[in-house]
């Protein structure tokens, strides 16, 4: 023992403190080293001992399991004593109380070694217990913060999903508790920011900061590179554009201003604009910067036609009707998987709701011309201040809506952009649409490879400035253009009564 005491004196400084072990212990408090298992392992090496850290229930948190006297441990965890030292079967044992965050009792740090505890080793054990308490508190605080951030993120998503199905009353009620005034508005814009998936969390936080938390910022549940922002104010648009402009590989698409009930429509517009943003030098684009076919149709005739197409749904309960229409609008814009993720339901639920709508309308939604027609009817009715009363005037047909000179001119100018390409992109696109967007079937009809069809359709996208392969509003506009020029047969809306102008004509 005399030799060991000499070693201790040489190791200690003039003030009796070993600066080496103290510095090593402090290093474990650095952000990169905060790990209770590493601290316990360090203590075992520094004290030449077996070390175990357990909580008040006896669960080992770190280190190697050491047999302990249960009564003695209970005295320490309940606060009767703060520490204990004893010798048992040739080993020296020291137990120290370690406070646990949010626990009625404490944990125990047990250190067992063959040699007695000298002053240096005892000091190391005591100071290590203090460091472990700090790390346990920090870990609990970080975990609580993470739980709070996750709960807040889930709440934002729930609000968005309520808006997507037009339940604005519930959305406002949920938002009012945490973000008073956030949805005290009749209209809003939706923006979709895109970055690399591994950079999305930071982008979401920057979007929150840029909008001063006066916008609904949601990590898109369907696309892991997208952040959705619903903002009632105009200032947020400039802030988001500035944010995107300063970040490489980041793009922004925005919708036209819509009523809160049309959040799903605005979301589709923002995604469409996002595709255009990839071709813009400022990496940002806003929907409604181009002419849309519905704006060239007679408004009264369009409303009458839409009401008649959707009339089979009018007998449903209001909430059921709204749920089916909102789901179908999203299902026509995106895949069933993505629509389900946005709505917070299963993809089978999305498919079941759309099949129910399909059955009520008596039509086939696998036909792209039918999808374009139903999409037009849904968006037309969603834009009305109130549901039509069911009274209709003249029996307007879709062909009549598409026959106007302004719309015919728009359709011709749009599709003529493809004529300069020697690959005859226009013929490929028309055939692909007629084949329901199926490249294999279109390839068989054209006598080419399916990959050639996909390449032609993909080549048409930047020329038309519209997404085609992804489906949605852009594709339906192109379908309507073909219908307006007579390049495709009019859709068979089987829900119309026999002899009705929109009933299919055979022969």
Task: Please tell me the number of Cα atoms within 13 Å of 296 on its side-chain side.
Answer: 19
Assess contact for 240 and 193: CB atoms under 8 A: yes
Q: Which residues pair with 126 in a beta bridge?
A: none
* Of the candidates 257, 488, 273, the residue with the CA atom closest to the CA atom of residue 372: 488
Ramachandran sector of residue 126 (left: φ over 0; alpha: ψ -120 to 50; beta: rest): alpha
Which tokens is 45 given?
């090496």
pLDDT digits (tens, 9 = 90+) for 81-117: 888 888 877 888 889 888 887 666 788 898 988 889 8
Which tokens is 6 given?
């000499």
The pLDDT > 70 percentage for the chain reads 87
Q: What is the pLDDT of residue 29?
A: 67
In this predicted structure, the answer to whether residue 51 has a pLDDT above a threshold of 80 is: yes
Please provide residue 226's backbone torsions phi and psi, each rounded to the nearest 5 degrees: -110, 145
Residues 120-155 as b/e (b if ≥16 CB within 10 A, e otherwise) read: bbbbbbeebbebbbebbeeeeeeeeeeeeeeeeeeb
On the 0-12 / 13-18 / 19+ scale of CB atoms within 10 A, 268 is buried
Residues 342-373 as b/e (b if ≥16 CB within 10 A, e otherwise) read: bbbbebeebbebbebbbebbebebebbbbbbb
Between strands 284-286 and 251-254, the pairing is parallel
Tell me the residue ranges of DSSP E strands in 177-268: 187-194, 216-219, 226-231, 251-254, 258-259
What is the pLDDT confidence band of residue 214, given thresholds at 50, 70 and 90? confident
336 contacts: CB under 8 Å, gap ≥ 6: 347, 350, 351, 354
pLDDT digits (tens, 9 = 90+) for 262-298: 898 889 889 888 888 887 888 998 886 567 898 899 9
* Of the candidates 15, 20, 69, 68, the residue with the CA atom closest to the CA atom of residue 45: 20
DSSP state of 262: G
What is the pLDDT confidence band of residue 398, given thresholds at 50, 70 and 90? very high
- Tokens 């089987």 found at: 494
pLDDT digits (tens, 9 = 90+) for 413-446: 999 999 999 999 999 999 999 999 999 999 999 9
Please provide residue 51's backbone torsions phi and psi, each rounded to the nearest 5 degrees: -130, 140
Helix (H, G, I), strand (E, B) or coil at 218: strand
Mean predicted lDDT score pLDDT of the chain: 83
CA dihedral 360, 361, 364, 367 (to 10 degrees): -150
pLDDT digits (tens, 9 = 90+) for 322-377: 889 989 988 998 888 888 988 888 999 999 999 999 999 999 999 999 999 999 99
Q: What is the pLDDT of residue 87?
A: 85
Please provide residue 14's backbone torsions phi and psi, each rounded to the nearest 5 degrees: -65, -30
Q: Which residues pair with 64 in a beta bridge?
A: none
What is d(CA 457, CA 462) in angstroms, rounded to the nearest whole number? 10
Which tokens is 220 given?
């898109």
A 10 A CB-CB count for 474 gives: 22
pTM as predicted: 0.63
């Amino acid at each position: 023992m005399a030799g060991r005491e000499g070693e201790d004196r040489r190791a200690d400084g003039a003030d009796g403190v070993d600066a080496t072990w103290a510095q090593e212990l402090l290093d474990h408090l650095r952000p990169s080293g905060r790990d209770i298992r590493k601290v316990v392992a360090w203590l075992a090496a520094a004290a030449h001992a077996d070390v175990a850290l357990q909580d008040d229930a006896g669960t080992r948190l770190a280190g190697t399991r050491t047999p302990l006297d249960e009564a003695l441990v209970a005295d320490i965890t309940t606060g009767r004593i703060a520490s204990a030292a004893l010798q048992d079967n040739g080993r020296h044992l020291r137990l120290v109380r370690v406070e646990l965050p949010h626990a009625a009792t404490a944990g125990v740090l047990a250190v067992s070694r063959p040699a007695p505890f000298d002053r240096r080793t005892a000091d190391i054990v005591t100071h290590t217990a203090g460091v472990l308490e700090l790390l346990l508190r920090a870990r609990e605080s970080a975990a609580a913060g993470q739980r709070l951030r996750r709960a807040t993120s889930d709440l934002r998503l729930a609000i968005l999903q309520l808006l997507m199905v037009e339940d604005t009353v519930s959305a406002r009620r949920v938002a009012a508790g945490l973000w008073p005034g956030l949805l005290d508005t009749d209209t809003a814009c939706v923006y979709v920011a895109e970055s690399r998936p591994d950079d999305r969390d930071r982008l979401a936080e920057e979007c929150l900061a840029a909008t001063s938390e006066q916008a609904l910022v949601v990590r898109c549940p369907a696309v892991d590179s997208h952040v959705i922002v619903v903002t009632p104010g105009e200032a947020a648009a400039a802030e988001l554009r500035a944010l995107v402009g300063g970040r490489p590989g980041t793009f922004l698409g925005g919708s036209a201003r819509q009523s809160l009930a049309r959040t799903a429509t605005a979301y589709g517009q923002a995604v469409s604009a996002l595709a255009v943003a990839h071709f813009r030098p400022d990496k940002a684009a806003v929907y409604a910067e181009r002419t849309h076919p519905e704006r060239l149709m007679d408004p009264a005739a369009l409303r009458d036609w839409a009401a008649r197409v959707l009339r089979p749904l009018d007998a449903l309960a209001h909430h059921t009707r709204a749920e089916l229409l909102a789901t179908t609008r999203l299902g026509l814009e995106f895949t069933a998987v993505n629509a389900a993720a946005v709505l917070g339901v299963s993809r089978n639920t999305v498919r079941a709701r759309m099949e129910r709508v399909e059955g009520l309308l008596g039509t086939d939604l696998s036909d792209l011309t039918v999808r374009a027609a139903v999409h037009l009817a849904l968006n037309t009715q969603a834009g009305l201040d109130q549901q039509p009363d069911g009274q209709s005037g003249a029996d307007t047909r879709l062909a009549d809506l598409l026959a106007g000179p302004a719309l015919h001119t728009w359709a011709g100018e749009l599709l003529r952009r493809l004529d300069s390409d020697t690959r005859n992109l226009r013929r490929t696109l028309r055939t692909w649409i007629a084949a329901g967007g199926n490249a294999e079937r279109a390839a068989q009809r054209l006598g080419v490879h399916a990959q050639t069809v996909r390449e032609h359709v993909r080549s048409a996208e930047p020329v038309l400035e519209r997404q085609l392969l992804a489906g949605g509003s852009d594709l339906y506009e192109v379908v309507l253009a073909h219908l307006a020029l007579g390049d495709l047969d009019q859709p068979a809306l089987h829900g119309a009564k026999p002899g009705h102008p929109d009933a299919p004509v055979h022969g």
